[in-house]
A and B are shown apart, each in its own frame.
Chain A
């Protein structure tokens, strides 16, 4: 990828996304952490645009910002005030070390490998993605829909209170 615009956009997005992701780690308030998470999601969506996957970028915004982040906020509100700090367990230090090692290994591999790259943009339209989903990948697609249904049912079953179950048993 050449070009001044792309380069600038990449570095800005990279800084933005990683700082926001670090914010998730360091924010003391769980709700602030969620808002940092939202910023990370938006940054990732920006990367998707940069990688010419506009449809997925929009899907990312709709699903992550519009649904998952809101869901997380809702879950936080349903738990008490005392559970809203974002502190670490005693695994904080080992986890940090592990993460740093992992990142180091990844980066070493990434820069060591000899990537075969195409320079021209494959420029995939949203319709191609749709076609791929219902032709080549139709079985995983159906399994994903079953998974979503199962998750829906499971989530509803999990949060039902005993009174509601008693009401349904009577009905």
Chain B
């Protein structure tokens, strides 16, 4: 390992929790029959990654934090009645959902409708297997974890379709048709843009990417700003977060594919939506924000705490856009994916490939060239985004954003007429 990580191998060194789990597993191996360890290891990993981090984050950052922050954005208090500062609100919500009757329409396809929320939970848990919380804190350190992430996060699309179709409700069917069309469109620029990262770092492993960023002392956010933007937009589209939440567009199709769900069946969808958003944040924190490293600070502060804070910070972006932006229409979203993001991602990929070849062949992989590439890529990102927007921008007949003013009541005043007061 190339990192200068200082954690010792002592089980009590909480800077690396894998020491603790390793100690537990070693002890178990001695006393328990053979094979138990194989069962125990994923369970410990699950408890560590999912139960301790994801569930708590989901409840207190995803549910409470999101509602609090959106409350602040909307100049109101968030939940503040249950417990001090409302911290027990998520638990009250869960209790309420559990005691609520889960209605099923009589014409629904019961098997699919009941299994959809359950199947929806599974990928949300599976994603966390490859997220590196620390140098050794990965449940499954597989060499192709980036592809694994993409594969696992493509399953929910199918589940939302199952959910929407099974209810025999027109709103749900509409919602799931939209999800399917949109998710396929957004998968393409997402994969193409992430390919640029893979070309640059020459690895498919998330852990190796963190180590790459640590080696070159720069976050990929700076080397590949365009990819971060595309990733963020595509992730919001696949997660149905607000600028792109056409699948559950409340003002149009009531709740989209969740219309007939109630009680904890709905609660699973809601909770796991947050789980996926957290997973996307974790992925972004790993790939773009240096994962568990923080320029040497990880030697003193437990790296998993740094990582979790980064995840929450990125999750804030999701909350922020949700509280600010209106929703796009489906044809606009599709056009945005195919006409804007895909060409930009392709150009970016081309440039990164060129840089990579130059770097390997002409510059012998020298470290300072990464900084040169960073400058070039930031300039390229700005130029591409601005230039492309100018080139194929959404240009309706541009009328001013202030109305004309007239003094006297009268008939129709054509736009060309100069009688208006105008500003």
Contacts and interface: CB of A to CB of B under 8 A. Distances in A.
A79 B7 CA distance: 60
A69 B158 contact: yes
B154 A126 contact: no
Interface stretch (B70-78, B140-148, B278-286, B346-354): B140-148
B38 interface: yes
Interface string B138-167: 000011100110111011011001100100
17 contacts: A31-B112, A31-B165, A54-B142, A54-B143, A54-B148, A55-B147, A58-B147, A59-B147, A62-B147, A62-B187, A65-B154, A65-B158, A67-B187, A70-B183, A77-B173, A125-B143, A126-B143
A34 to B, nearest CB: 9
A68 to B, nearest CB: 11
A95 to B, nearest CB: 27
A55 B181 CA distance: 26
A4 interface: yes
A73 B143 contact: no
Nearest to B177: A77
B35 interface: yes
Given A35-B112, A70-B180, A126-B144, A62 B158 contact: no
Interface residues of B, number: 28
B interface majority secondary structure:
helix
Most chain B Cβ neighbours within 10 Å, of A4, A57, A62, A65: A62
Interface string A26-46: 000101100100100000000
Interface in B156-205: 157-158, 161-162, 165, 173, 177, 180-181, 183-184, 187, 204
For the complex of A and B, 3 pairs with smallest distance between CB atoms: A66-B154, A61-B151, A58-B147
Contacts of A71: 184
Given A58-B148, A58-B151, A70 B161 contact: yes
A73 B142 CA distance: 32
A3 B138 CA distance: 24
A103 B173 CA distance: 40
Nearest to B155: A65
Contact of B187 (A54, A55, A57, A66): A66
A interface majority secondary structure:
helix
A153 to B, nearest CB: 15
A11 interface: no
A44 to B, nearest CB: 13
A58 B194 CA distance: 15
Nearest to A66: B154
Interface in B58-80: none
Interface string A56-88: 011101100111011101100100000000000
Nearest to B38: A5
Given A32-B112, A67-B187, 4 more contacts: A35-B112, A58-B150, A65-B158, A126-B144
Contact of A61 (B152, B173, B184): B152
A72 B165 CA distance: 14
Contacts of A67: 154, 184, 187
Contact of A126 (B38, B150, B204): B204
Contact of A73 (B38, B109, B152, B161): B161
B35 A4 contact: yes
A74 B177 CA distance: 7
A61 B181 contact: no
Contacts of B180: 70, 73-74
A66 B143 CA distance: 21
A70 B147 contact: no
Interface in A72-118: 73-74, 77
Nearest to B191: A62
Contacts of B142: 54
Interface in B117-154: 142-144, 147-148, 150-152, 154
A4 B111 CA distance: 34
B116 to A, nearest CB: 10
Nearest to A78: B177
Contacts of B148: 54, 58
